A = this chain, B = another copy of it.
């Protein structure tokens, strides 16, 4: 690192090429995204070709010398930047001084559904990236095999989604962009029961746990934060299921409802096994 030149201008072409990844259109064009902090760098390094470039401040480079060395050893370009440039790149209030440019991670739907999946999460019309990232993290924790973002959902590579996923974006296969008309049949062809989670569901999560149907390989479809799932998707699902509301709340927030559903499946599948 001794002879490294520090980039101090946000107009440097290299910095500009990273900075533009804050926009979805450029992410899709380059098939790259930004992930901040030592955990993200570690996760990206663990995947072959996962880490494309590493930006670091001098301070972070000495604090995380192990990661910077590992990146250099893996032939990943390491770029030293000023604190000012990092602040521009990092999109967070208190940048951690390390920023990874990562290769897109998503896999084709067929690959994600190969190998007899037991638990799959589908995000349909989910618009808030923080919610999406939290569901991704909960899916990972509950042992899901993959997470599908339909064409009408937020971009999983959005900075807020990446942060909220707390590393889980790197942990399990992610699929982006399928339309529900091809997705739902593909899920069913993979042996999955398709459950649409919706407050308007006629059966509750407890009903399905009681009759044993939650133990089946399942794809959960979660919908929009405000209005749930469109009628077409509810009609295509094997069941429309609601989390029972025992108190006076009108509903649960999306991520907590998803976590309750996914963990109910995980428990039913393990108890019946």
The contact size tier of chain A is 35 or more
Which one of B248, B257, B266 contacts A246 once the chains associate, using CB atoms below 8 Å?
Answer: B266
- Asked whether A141 and B247 contact (CB < 8 A) given A134-B253, A256-B255, the answer is yes
Q: Answer whether residue A72 sits at the interface, using C-beta atoms and an 8 A cutoff.
A: no
Q: A252 to B137, Cβ gap below 8 A?
A: yes
Determine how close the nearest CB of chain B comes to the CB of A124; give it in whole angstroms. Answer: 19
Q: Answer whether residue A14 sits at the interface, using C-beta atoms and an 8 A cutoff.
A: no
Q: B134 to A247, Cβ gap below 8 A?
A: no
Which one of B172, B246, B266 contacts A142 once the chains associate, using CB atoms below 8 Å?
Answer: B246
Chain B residue nearest to A270 in the complex (CB): B206
Complex alpha-carbon distance, A142 and B244, angstroms: 8
Interfacial residues of chain A within 256-273, with CB under 8 A of chain B in the complex? 256-260, 263-264, 266-267, 270
- Asked whether A263 and B260 contact (CB < 8 A) given A137-B253, A140-B249, A253-B255, the answer is yes
Which one of B140, B172, B209 contacts A267 once the chains associate, using CB atoms below 8 Å?
Answer: B209
Chain B residue nearest to A171 in the complex (CB): B248
Complex alpha-carbon distance, A56 and B267, angstroms: 48
- Asked whether A249 and B168 contact (CB < 8 A) given A256-B255, A259-B259, A260-B260, the answer is yes
- Chain B residues with CB under 8 A of A257: 259
Complex alpha-carbon distance, A259 and B260, angstroms: 6
Q: A252 to B259, Cβ gap below 8 A?
A: yes
Complex alpha-carbon distance, A206 and B269, angstroms: 12
Determine how close the nearest CB of chain B comes to the CB of A243; give it in whole angstroms. Answer: 7
Known pairs A138-B252, A142-B246, A166-B249. 18 more at Cβ < 8 A? Answer: A137-B249, A137-B256, A138-B249, A138-B256, A140-B248, A141-B243, A141-B247, A141-B252, A143-B247, A167-B250, A168-B247, A172-B248, A206-B267, A206-B270, A243-B263, A255-B256, A256-B259, A260-B260
Q: Show 15 residue pairs from A and B whose CB-CB distance is below 8 angstroms, ordered by the A residue.
A: A134-B253, A134-B256, A139-B247, A140-B248, A141-B247, A141-B249, A141-B252, A164-B253, A166-B251, A166-B253, A168-B249, A172-B247, A206-B267, A244-B266, A257-B259
The 3 closest A-B pairs by CB, nearest first: A143-B246, A256-B259, A141-B249
